[in-house]
Structure 1
Amino acid sequence: MLLGLLFALGAGLMWGLVFVAPVMLPGYAPALLTVGRYLAFGLIALPLALLLDRRALKELAPADWWEAAQLSLVGNFAYYLCLSAAIQRAGAPLPTMIIGTLPVVIAVCANHRNRVRDGHLPWARLAPSLALIAAGLACVNRDELAALQAQAGDPRRYAEGALLAVAAVACWTWYPIKNADWLRAHGDRSPRAWATAQGLVTLPMALLGALLLAGLHLAAPGTLIPAGYAAPLGERPWAYVGLMAAIGLCSSWLGTLCWNEASQRLPTSLSGQLIVFETLAALAYAFAWHQRLPPPTTLAGVGLLVAGVVWALRIKPVRTH
């Protein structure tokens, strides 16, 4: 349990870096950051596969590679495509609020679906933890909610953005549950090799995405990339390449490795709640980047999130048959 908690914390610390990339590179469109991140993930996975995981990867069957491809397609590309499109349609506040429900949604779905394999967390004891996390997310996203209430936009665009954000939640609810299924069914396999395998299958998808993005930019400038974008690497090429390499290594490969280790040790209903570490890390990095302290409401939200996680860790699963 302790190791699983530490690995989930490590995954959250790594994934939180993704949320400051747009702040550090404000002139780069979300599509460029997404393709750059996963292209770096795939390229980094190649030497790691040769140096560290060659033997373990040879043991993977075609069905395992197909599973890794599905996980990468849904958990990486479909998720970020839906999220980026939602932000384009409705702005940032509404999708951020909807995505913030992920820890609660995953915990509820996994607690029902995996009750035989992982044990059932009694709803009466789980409810306070979920309520604390939901209240913490509401406090943390208070500024986003205020911005949403102040906006007066096209209701149709808001509805489309909301549906796309819900689709993003569905993608990343499916991913950790299915990923944990494979890891729990293959307890003798290396979580590190499974992270590398997902990186390898991500590479051709990222290359295809880069080609499609370049073609769209040439055919219809300004659609996903600003019309004045300095192709191919923008106005700050070294900063872009360096940050994408850092995120590809830390957030994508190391983050996935830590999450795999946690998923192999913890019930999915519990590990799902621990995604709040990503929210906490993203907040810390953002405030550090802007060199300012969080407001009292945000600090209160952080306290509620931590209290919710501590409460969840005290719940003992009840075996069902």
Structure 2
Amino acid sequence: MFLGLLFALTAGLMWGLVFVAPVMLPGYAPALLTVGRYLAFGLIAVPLGLALDRRALRELRPADWVEAAKLSLVGNFLYYLCLSAAIQRAGAPLPTMIIGTLPVVIAVCANHRNRVRDGQLPWLRLAPSLALIAAGLAFVNRDELQVLQAQAGDLRRYAEGAMLAIAAVACWTWYPIRNADWLRAHTDRSPRAWATAQGLVTLPMALLGAVLLAIVQVALPGALVPAGYAFPLGERPLAYVGLMAAIGLCSSWLGTLCWNEASQRLPTSLTGQLIVFETLAALAYAFMWHQRLPPPATVAGIALLVAGVSWALRIRPERPPAHAGH
């Protein structure tokens, strides 16, 4: 339990870096950051696989590689495509609020779905934890909520953005549950090798995405990349390449590795709640980048998130009766 908590915390610290990348590179479109991140992930996975996990990767069956490709496609590309499209349609506040429900949604789905394998966290004891996390997310996203309430935009675009954000939530609810299924079914396999495998199958997808992005840029200038952008590396090529390499190594490979380690040790209903570490890390990095202290509402939200996670860690799963699994 303690090691799983530490791995989940480290994964959150790594994933939080992704949220400050757009702030550090404001002139780069989400499509460029997405392709750059996963292209770096794939390129980094090649030497890592050869140096560290060659034997373990050879032991993976074709079905395992297919599963890794599904996880990468849904959890990486489809998730971020839906999220970025939702932001384009409805602006940032609405998708941010919907994506913020992920820790609660994953915990509820996993607690029901995996109750036979992992044991079930008693709903009455789990409810306060989920309520604290939900309240904390509401406080953390208070500014976004106020902007959302003040905006009076096209209702159709808002509805489309909401549906796309819900699709993004569905993608990243499916990913950690399905990823944990494979890891719990293959406890003899290396979580590090599984992270590397996902990076390797990400590489051809990222290359295809880069080619499509180039085609769209030629055919429809300004559609996905800002007009006047110096395609493909932009006005700050060293900063772009360096940051994508850092995120590809830390957020994609190391973050996935740590998440895999946590998923192999903890009930999925608990790891779902531990995604709040990503939110906390992203907030900390953003405030450090802007060199300012968080407002009182955000501090209150952080306290509620920490309290919710602390409450969840005290709950022990209960095994259902044998007949409940049939």
State the TM-score, normalized to the length of structure 1: 1.00
User: What are the Cα deviations for residues 199-258 of structure 1, in whole angstroms up to 9, with x where unaligned?
Assistant: 000000000000000100100011111121101200000000000000000000000000
Counterpart position of 2:76:
76
Counterpart position of 1:284:
284
User: What are the Cα deviations for residues 40-69 of structure 1, in whole angstroms up to 9, with x where unaligned?
Assistant: 000000000100000000000000000000
User: What are the Cα deviations for residues 257-296 of structure 1, in whole angstroms up to 9, with x where unaligned?
Assistant: 0000000000000000000000000000000000000001
Q: How does 1:195-234 map to 2 (within 5 A)?
A: 195-234=195-234
Matched, 1:40 2:40: yes
Counterpart position of 2:89:
89
Q: What letter is aligned with 1:178?
A: R
User: What are the Cα deviations for residues 154-211 of structure 1, in whole angstroms up to 9, with x where unaligned?
Assistant: 1000000000000000000000000000000000000000000000000000000000
Q: How does 1:88-167 map to 2 (within 5 A)?
A: 88-167=88-167
Counterpart position of 1:168:
168
Matched, 1:25 2:41: no
Q: Give 1:150 shift.
A: 1.3
**Separation in structure 1 between the aligned mates of residue 253 and residue 98 of structure 2, nearest angstrom:** 26
**Separation in structure 1 between the aligned mates of residue 95 and residue 231 of structure 2, nearest angstrom:** 29
**Separation in structure 2 between the aligned mates of residue 109 and residue 68 of structure 1, nearest angstrom:** 22
**Separation in structure 2 between the aligned mates of residue 26 and residue 151 of structure 1, nearest angstrom:** 23
Counterpart position of 1:299:
299
Counterpart position of 1:9:
9
Unaligned stretches of 5+ residues in structure 1:
none
- Percent identity of paired positions between Structure 1 and Structure 2: 87
Counterpart position of 1:178:
178
Q: How does 1:229-268 map to 2 (within 5 A)?
A: 229-268=229-268
**Separation in structure 1 between the aligned mates of residue 231 and residue 35 of structure 2, nearest angstrom:** 14
Unaligned stretches of 5+ residues in structure 2:
none
**Separation in structure 1 between the aligned mates of residue 225 and residue 157 of structure 2, nearest angstrom:** 20
User: What are the Cα deviations for residues 12-62 of structure 1, in whole angstroms up to 9, with x where unaligned?
Assistant: 000000000000000000000000000000000000010000000000000
Q: What letter is aligned with 2:32?
A: L
CA RMSD of aligned residues (A): 0.4
**Separation in structure 2 between the aligned mates of residue 90 and residue 224 of structure 1, nearest angstrom:** 16
Counterpart position of 2:191:
191
Q: What letter is aligned with 1:167?
A: A
**Separation in structure 1 between the aligned mates of residue 224 and residue 98 of structure 2, nearest angstrom:** 23
**Separation in structure 2 between the aligned mates of residue 228 and residue 84 of structure 1, nearest angstrom:** 21
> Secondary structure of 1:316's partner?
coil
Matched, 1:318 2:318: yes
**Separation in structure 2 between the aligned mates of residue 189 and residue 14 of structure 1, nearest angstrom:** 23
Q: Give 1:152 shift.
A: 1.3
> Secondary structure of 2:292's partner?
coil
State the TM-score, normalized to the length of structure 2: 0.98
**Separation in structure 2 between the aligned mates of residue 279 and residue 226 of structure 1, nearest angstrom:** 28
- Matched length: 321
Runs ≥4 residues deviating over 6 A: none
> Secondary structure of 2:231's partner?
coil
**Separation in structure 1 between the aligned mates of residue 121 and residue 227 of structure 2, nearest angstrom:** 52
User: What are the Cα deviations for residues 98-121 of structure 1, in whole angstroms up to 9, with x where unaligned?
Assistant: 000000000000000000000010
